[in-house]
C-alpha cells in the first residue's frame, strides 16, 4: 500500500517497538496458547521448540536501562512517504511523536509539510526528489541503524534513480535494508541491486513475490509449494532473507524456512504490511547487534523476521478482537505495545 499513511504506520511501528520494549501490561491470551498457535518450524515441532525460538527472539531484545539515551535502541530511516492520502493521519502520528528522534523520514519536498504538520517532532528530510538526494541521505547513514525502503515511495523514474543510489551507499556502509512495496518493484526491475547483500530483508506480498520470482528465476511461481518457492527465491538472490506475507508468513534465508501462523485476523488492513516493515527495521538492528551467542547460531535476520511477523499478527488479532470489522491501521498501532508484551516479555 503506497500511501502516506503507510509510511506513518511503518514509522509508528518502528518507534513504538523501540520504545515499548519495556511495556508492562500483559494482555490477551496466556502465552502458551499464543505459542501453540504461533507457528510451525518445518513440519512438526513441539511447543518446546517453539518456546525456544521465541526465547531466541526475546534474547535479542535489549534490556531497557535508564542509562541509555533515546535512540540507542534503534534509529530507523524510512525512504518513502511521497504519496498523499486522504486517510486520517493524526492518531498514528501521536504515537510516532513519542519516538520522534528514533525515526527519520526521507521523502519528497512536496510530501514533507503534510508529514511534518501532523508530527512536528518527527525528523523529516524533504530530499528524495532533489538532485543531491543520495548525498543528503548518505550524510545521515552513520546515525541510522536500519533503512526501510519503499512504503509510499511511488514509481517515478527520477525518484527510483535516487533510491538506487541510496541503496548502493547504504550497502557500502553495511546498513540493514528492509525492502517493501514500491522498493520491491524497483528490485524486480533490477535484482542485482540487492543480490548477495546479506543484511537485506524483502517483504513481498503474493503479487510482489510473483513479480520478483519471474524477474530472478525466470520461472512462474509454484503455488503448491510456498515454502520451496520462498527458499528458491532467497537462494537465487544470494541468500537474502525473504518474507512472503500471506495467510501464513513464510520466511527463508536460503537455508532454513520458518512459517509464522500466529493468529492474525481475517481482515487484513492496509497498514499491516507497513507495521511489519517498520518493526522489522528495529528487530533486524537488535538481532544483528545481539551477536551470535544470543542467537545461538540462528540467522539473526530470520529471527528478526519471525519476531516481526508474530508481532504484526498479534497486533492485528488484538485489534480485531476489540474492533471487529471496523479495525483500522490506527487500532493496530495502539496494540503494538500490548502485543509486544504478550509475545516477548514473560
Enumerate binding residues for ligand NAG (CB under 6 A). 235, 238-239, 254-255
**Residue 269 labelled as part of a binding site:** yes
- Residue nearer to ligand NAG on the CB measure, 41 or 114: 41
d(CA 300, CA 287): 5
**Residue 264 labelled as part of a binding site:** yes
Q: How far is the CB of 272 from ligand NAG (least distance, A)?
A: 29
- Residue nearer to ligand NAG on the CB measure, 103 or 239: 239
DSSP label at residue 201: E
**Residue 298 labelled as part of a binding site:** no
Q: How far is the CB of 313 from ligand NAG (least distance, A)?
A: 27
Q: Which residue in 238, 234, 237, 263 sits closest to 249, CA to CA?
A: 263
SS (H, E, C) 238-296: CCCEEEECCCCEEEECCCCEEEECCCCCCCCCCCHHHHHHHHHHHHHHHHHHHCHHHHC
Q: What angle do CA 336, 64, 286 make, to 5 degrees?
A: 70
**Residue 207 labelled as part of a binding site:** yes
Q: How far is the CB of 258 from ligand NAG (least distance, A)?
A: 15
Q: How far is the CB of 42 from ligand NAG (least distance, A)?
A: 15
d(CA 299, CA 306): 11
- Residue nearer to ligand NAG on the CB measure, 113 or 196: 196
**Residue 274 labelled as part of a binding site:** yes
Contact predicate 27/321, CB 8 Å: no
**Residue 180 labelled as part of a binding site:** no
Q: What residues does 244 pair with on adjacent strands?
A: 250
Q: How far is the CB of 239 from ligand NAG (least distance, A)?
A: 4
Question: Residues within the annotated binding site for ATP?
Answer: 245-249, 264-273
Question: Residues within the annotated binding site for (6S)-NADPHX?
Answer: 152, 205-211, 274
Question: Residues within the annotated binding site?
Answer: 152, 205-211, 245-249, 264-274
Amino acid at each position: 500500500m503506497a500511501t502516506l499513511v503507510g509510511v506513518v504506520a511503518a514509522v509508528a511501528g518502528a518507534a513504538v517497538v523501540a520504545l515499548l520494549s519495556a511495556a508492562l501490561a500483559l494482555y490477551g491470551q496466556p502465552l502458551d496458547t499464543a505459542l501453540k498457535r504461533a507457528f510451525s518450524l518445518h513440519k512438526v515441532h513441539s511447543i518446546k521448540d517453539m518456546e525456544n525460538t521465541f526465547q531466541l527472539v526475546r534474547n535479542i531484545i535489549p534490556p531497557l536501562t535508564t542509562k541509555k539515551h533515546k535512540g540507542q535502541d534503534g534509529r530507523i530511516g524510512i525512504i518513502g512517504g511521497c504519496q498523499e492520502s486522504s486517510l486520517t493521519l493524526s492518531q498514528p502520528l501521536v504515537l510516532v511523536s513519542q519516538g520522534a528522534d528514533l525515526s527519520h523520514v526521507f521523502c519528497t519536498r512536496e510530501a514533507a509539510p503534510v508529514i511534518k504538520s501532523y508530527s512536528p517532532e518527527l525528523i523529516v528530510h524533504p530530499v528524495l526528489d532533489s538532485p543531491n538526494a543520495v548525498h543528503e541521505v548518505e550524510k545521515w547513514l552513520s546515525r541510522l541503524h536500519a533503512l526501510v525502503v519503499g512504503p509510499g515511495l511511488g514509481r517515478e523514474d527520477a525518484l527510483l534513480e535516487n533510491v538506487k543510489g541510496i541503496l548502493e551507499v547504504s550497502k557500502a556502509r553495511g546498513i540493514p535494508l528492509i525492502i517493501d512495496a514500491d522498493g520491491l518493484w524497483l528490485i524486480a526491475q533490477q535484482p542485482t541491486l540487492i543480490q548477495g547483500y546479506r543484511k537485506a530483508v524483502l517483504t513481498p506480498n503474493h503479487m510482489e513475490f510473483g513479480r520478483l520470482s519471474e524477474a530472478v528465476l525466470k520461472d512462474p511461481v509454484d503455488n503448491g509449494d510456498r515454502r520451496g518457492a520462498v527458499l528458491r527465491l532467497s537462494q537465487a538472490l544470494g541468500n537474502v532473507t525473504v518474507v512472503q506475507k500471506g495467510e501464513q508468513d513464510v520466511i527463508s534465508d536460503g537455508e532454513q524456512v520458518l512459517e509464522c501462523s500466529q493468529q492474525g485476523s481475517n481482515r487484513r488492513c492496509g497498514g499491516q504490511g507497513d507495521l511489519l516493515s517498520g518493526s522489522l527495521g528495529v528487530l533486524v538492528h537488535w538481532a544483528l547487534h545481539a551477536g551470535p551467542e544470543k542467537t545461538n547460531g540462528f540467522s539473526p535476520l530470520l529471527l528478526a523476521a519471525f519476531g516481526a511477523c508474530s508481532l504484526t499478527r498479534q497486533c492485528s488479532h488484538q485489534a480485531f478482537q476489540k474492533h471487529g470489522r471496523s479495525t483500522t491501521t490506527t487500532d493496530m498501532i495502539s496494540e503494538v505495545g500490548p502485543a509486544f508484551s504478550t509475545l516477548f516479555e514473560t
